[in-house]
Amino acid sequence: MHFNRVTASSALVALHAVTGETERSIHLPGIGALVGGYPVRVGKSGIKIDLPDEWSLEEAIAVNEASLKWDGIDEVTDDGTIVFTVETQKALRELLGKNIETLSAETAQDQANDLLYVLS
């Protein structure tokens, strides 16, 4: 299964830019502690959010946070725990036969194994 192709390809482009001679404009998820993806400039000096002049960072954050529901996420708590929407919780319950309301660093491996088991 190829769950992470987009993330991996973005990371590879960013890695080449950080270690290369040419700065690149790309889109990356998870910049700093921000939810969602952002247009960025990546080069040897690091990664900087590079929004169009028409957008403020606050607007971009608000759009990304509002878009979480489209990914089945109700919220991301301060400690990084993902709280699933009611619809996602229902789908996971039907698929796995148990209630899963959140995803955290502590539960991620077991939940991934459960999903891989039922999908294989």
Q: How far apart are CA 53 and CA 57, in angstroms?
A: 10
Sequence-distant (6+) residues with CB within 8 A of 77 are 83
Q: Domain of 36?
A: 1-70
**50, 101: one domain:** no
**For position 9, what pLDDT does the model report?**
78
Q: Are residues 11 and 45 in the same domain?
A: yes
Domain boundary pick from 52, 70, 88: 70
Please indicate, yes or no, whether residues 50 and 105 belong to a single structural domain of this protein. no
Q: How many domains does the chain have?
A: 2
Report the amino acid identity of residue 106.
Answer: E
The pLDDT score that the predictor gives to residue 13 is: 84
Residues 14 and 66 in one domain: yes
* Tokens 């700093």, located at residue: 32
Clarify whether residues 63 and 18 are in a common domain. Answer: yes
Q: Are 43 and 24 in contact (CB under 8 A)?
A: yes
The reply to whether 53 and 89 lie within a common domain is no
Region 24-38: mean pLDDT is: 90
Q: Which residue has the higher pLDDT, 35 or 57?
A: 57
Query: Does 99 have pLDDT greater than 90?
Result: yes
Same domain? For 5 and 63 the reply is: yes
pTM score over 0.85? no
Do 31 and 53 fall into the same domain?
Answer: yes
Looking at the fold, whether 91 and 39 belong to one and the same domain comes out as: no
State whether 59 and 85 are in the same domain: no
Three-state SS for the chain is CCCCHHHHHHHHHHHHHHHCCCCEEEEEECCCCCCCEEEEEEECCEEEECCCCCCCHHHHHHHHHHHHHHHCEEEECCCCCEEECHHHHHHHHHHHCCCCCEECCCCHHHHHHHHHHHHC
Q: In what order do the strands lie in the sheet with 24-29?
A: 24-29, 37-43, 46-49
Residues 23, 43 contacting (CB under 8 angstroms) = yes
70 pLDDT higher than 60? yes
